[in-house]
Amino acid sequence: MAVTSARPEHGGEAADGGEGADRGGAADGGEGVKTVAGRTVRAAGAALAELVGGLGTAATALLLLLLLAAAAVTAPLGAGLLLAPPLLHALHALAGRERERLGRRGPEVLAPQPAPPTRLRTALGDPVTRRELRWLARHGTVGLLLGLAGFLLPLSAVRDTAFPLYWRFVPENTTATSVGFGVAHSWPEAFAVCAFGIGSVAVILGLTPGMARLQAGPGRRLLAAGPDQDLSLRVAELTATRAAALDAHATELRRIERALHDGTQNRLVSVTVLLGAARRQVARDPSRAEEILERAQSAAEQALAELRTVSRSILPPVLDDRGLAGALSGLAADCPVPCRIDVDAPERCAASAEATAYFVVAEALTNVARHSGARSVTVTVRARGGRLRLTVADDGRGGAEEAGGSGLTGIRRRVAAHDGTLRLASPPGGPTTLEVDLPSGS
């Protein structure tokens, strides 16, 4: 495992070396605590929003679950058979709403194709409908409880934490805590209720992200297209990937042609013109000819430098010389934002996979420096089980969008051309996390 960090260097003198280092360390520590605290609060807020957002579909799921149970009980009487088609239609519609909700909070959940049936006889043997029913049972029970907890925990935390401010105005023998036990008769007991509210805040900060994942888990597993549809979806995905690869290839060729035409070719034309002028000046003014030859040499050196730049943009030689960890360390050193690199790749991946990872990280760090306003960024790379996974996370302002001209569209096309996947999470206020999963080809 290779872990490196790079911080921009600044010139200057240290007037008081020891004290300056201590103050700098204390400042860095304070900034680190603020960064972690801000990230924790934002993650808890996003988790609460996700839990409360799932509360609506969970309540509807419980109601629909009860109606389906009633239809099953009354089926021998005939009433349940009449209710089955509209209830199945409602089930599919609710599952569609949940897919849309999950897609807004994370990776898209692809709906099965074609749409599941609403006729009872066909639906009984349909695997998609059976998975939706399993999701309905879980989301209408466990998901509902988690959603209620996400709704009530902030209210409980605010009520109990502020209890010392109003406990004297509460009627005598009224329950002090939000959970229904305890009576406060003195200031110490009132502050004990306040401590209980602080505990609720700790629960919110520590557990709500896991609760949100637990609520969303059944939907992501059961509402996605099943294994029986993997082949058709894979064909469609490969068709789209092939188109993306061709598009990325054409874009790369245009970039190389532009770089050669606008840069190197112009330099070489300048060298040719200067050499012709020097040849004409040799007999007339040798000193002038020598000056022109120096200019021609300078232009030739610039042309060589531009050729090296173009060749490195095709496949950076640093990948062959130092491997992916060393290449990414070089990017981190050049990044104006303090960057930490954590690479765990026991074996070398295919050259194409490493090149894709290198260009993705390079473009991502450029976006962080230009648009995020971040104080730090972390790049994590893991190679396991034939997959190369990398994550670029920063503590910036968030709100990154592919339509914002930040280069994310180019990153997605490059990843798709390598048959990989990209996931971007960038809520307003941050943090921003870019996750890429590539076949390592090793």
Q: What pLDDT, in 10s, does the model give residues 144-159?
A: 999 999 999 999 889 8
Residue 191 sits in the same domain as residue 90:
yes
- Asked whether residue 17 is assigned to any structural domain, the reply reads no
Q: Supply the pLDDT for residue 186.
A: 79
Residue 408 sits in the same domain as residue 302:
no
- Asked whether residue 429 is assigned to any structural domain, the reply reads yes
Looking at 62-66, 250-254, 370-374, which range is the least confident one?
Answer: 250-254
* Separation CA 177–CA 5 (nearest Å): 47
Q: Supply the pLDDT for residue 14.
A: 40
- CATH no. for residue 391? 3.30.565.10
Q: Supply the pLDDT for residue 237.
A: 61
The answer, yes or no, to whether residue 17 has pLDDT greater than 70, is no
Predicted confidence (pLDDT) per residue in 351-372, tens digit: 888 888 888 888 888 888 888 8
- Asked whether residue 292 is assigned to any structural domain, the reply reads yes
Q: Supply the pLDDT for residue 85.
A: 85
- Asked whether residue 14 is assigned to any structural domain, the reply reads no
Predicted confidence (pLDDT) per residue in 74-103, tens digit: 877 777 678 888 888 899 899 988 988 888
Task: Give the count of domains, the chain.
Answer: 3
Residue 69 sits in the same domain as residue 116:
yes
Residue 357 sits in the same domain as residue 428:
yes
Could you tell me what percent of the chain has a pLDDT over 90? 11
The answer, yes or no, to whether residue 381 has pLDDT greater than 70, is yes
Contact 378, 338 (CB under 8 A): no
**Taking the CB of residue 350, how many other CB atoms lie within 10 A of it?**
15
Tell me the sheet residues that pair with 436: 390, 422
Looking at 51-60, 169-178, 209-218, 369-378, which range is the least confident one?
Answer: 169-178
Average pLDDT, the chain: 79
The answer, yes or no, to whether residue 427 has pLDDT greater than 60, is yes
- Asked whether residue 140 is assigned to any structural domain, the reply reads yes
Residue 90 sits in the same domain as residue 121:
yes
Q: Supply the pLDDT for residue 12.
A: 43
The answer, yes or no, to whether residue 338 has pLDDT greater than 50, is yes
- Asked whether residue 263 is assigned to any structural domain, the reply reads yes
User: Considering Cα of 292, then 293, then 299, then 303, what sign does the dihedral take?
Assistant: positive
The answer, yes or no, to whether residue 67 has pLDDT greater than 50, is yes
What is the amino acid identity at position 241? Answer: T
Listed in sequence order, the residues at least 6 apart from 15 whose beta carbon sits closer than 8 Å to its beta carbon are: none
Residue 196 sits in the same domain as residue 239:
no
Residue 304 sits in the same domain as residue 382:
no
Q: Supply the pLDDT for residue 432.
A: 87
Residue 64 sits in the same domain as residue 203:
yes
Residue 410 sits in the same domain as residue 339:
yes
The answer, yes or no, to whether residue 138 has pLDDT greater than 90, is yes
Nearest to 331 by CA among 353, 358, 370: 358
User: pLDDT confidence of 136, banded at 50, 70, 90?
Assistant: very high
- Asked whether residue 5 is assigned to any structural domain, the reply reads no
Residue 417 vs residue 370, higher pLDDT: 370
Domain endpoint, select from 174, 199, 225: 225
Burial of 125 (0-12, 13-18, 19+ CB in 10 A): exposed
Domain endpoint, select from 265, 296, 314: 314
Burial of 375 (0-12, 13-18, 19+ CB in 10 A): middle
Q: Supply the pLDDT for residue 146.
A: 93
Q: Supply the pLDDT for residue 175.
A: 67
- Asked whether residue 16 is assigned to any structural domain, the reply reads no
Domain range enclosing 385:
317-439
Residue 401 sits in the same domain as residue 353:
yes
Q: Supply the pLDDT for residue 280.
A: 84
* SS3 of residue 119 by DSSP: coil
Domain endpoint, select from 314, 333, 361: 314
Residue 291 sits in the same domain as residue 328:
no
Q: Supply the pLDDT for residue 72.
A: 85
Residue 157 sits in the same domain as residue 73:
yes
User: pLDDT confidence of 288, banded at 50, 70, 90?
Assistant: confident
Contact 406, 366 (CB under 8 A): no
The overall pTM is greater than 0.85: no
